[in-house]
Structure formats: structure tokens, C-alpha cells
Amino acid sequence: MRLKPLWRFRRRRDKVELAVDAYVAWREECVAVRTAYLAWRRARAVEAALAFDAYEAALDREEVAAEAYAALMGRVGHLVEVGLARQLAYLPSIPGATA
């Protein structure tokens, strides 16, 4: 009978790991957007159109990554919140704080 709770734990962990991976992918695309924007801003006139196209493509990739992350968080956000609530409950009390 102990296998079912362990299986559920692993399934939840896998879902949270997918969400973390999606978050990392989204943040990487955010960096790519910033890099492409800076390249466009510094581009000479003859390179500006190509640099803008690269910036626009980076924005599109970031949007896709953000939507994927949001969709996963919609399915697993409650798991993260529960885990966070448990962690906060076990934090040592702050010296001098009133309960």
C-alpha cells in the first residue's frame, strides 16, 4: 500500500520539475530578447532591418516560452504553493518578533 503515495509524490515532483524547466527556458528567452534588442539598438543603418527581424523573432520565442510556462503553472501552481507553505511553517521564529 505504500507504493501509491510514493507514485503520487514522484508524479507531483515530475510536474514541478517540468514547470521549473519551463521557467528556465522562459528566462533564457528573456535574455535572448534583451541581447537582440541591444544588437538592434547598436546596429548600423544597413544592418538595422536584419537586427530588428532578429529582435522580433526573439520576442516571438519569448512569448511562446512564457505561454508554456504559464500553462504548466496553471496545472502545478497549487503544488508549489503547498510546498512553500510547508517550508514557511517550519522556518524558525524571528528573535524579538511577537506571535
pLDDT of residue 86: 57
DSSP codes of every residue in 24-66: HHHHHHHHHHHHHHHHHHH--TTTHHHHHHHHHHHHHHHHHHH
Task: Give me the pLDDT at residue 99, please.
Answer: 47
**Residue 29 grid cell:** 528567452
For residue range 30-64, what is the model confidence (pLDDT) as tens digits?
999 999 999 999 999 999 999 999 999 999 999 99
CB count in 10 Å sphere of residue 86: 9
* 95: Cα within 13 Å, side-chain hemisphere: 0
Provide the residue ranges of all domains of the chain, joining segments of one domain with +: 16-73
Q: What is the arithmetic mean of pLDDT over 70-93? A: 66
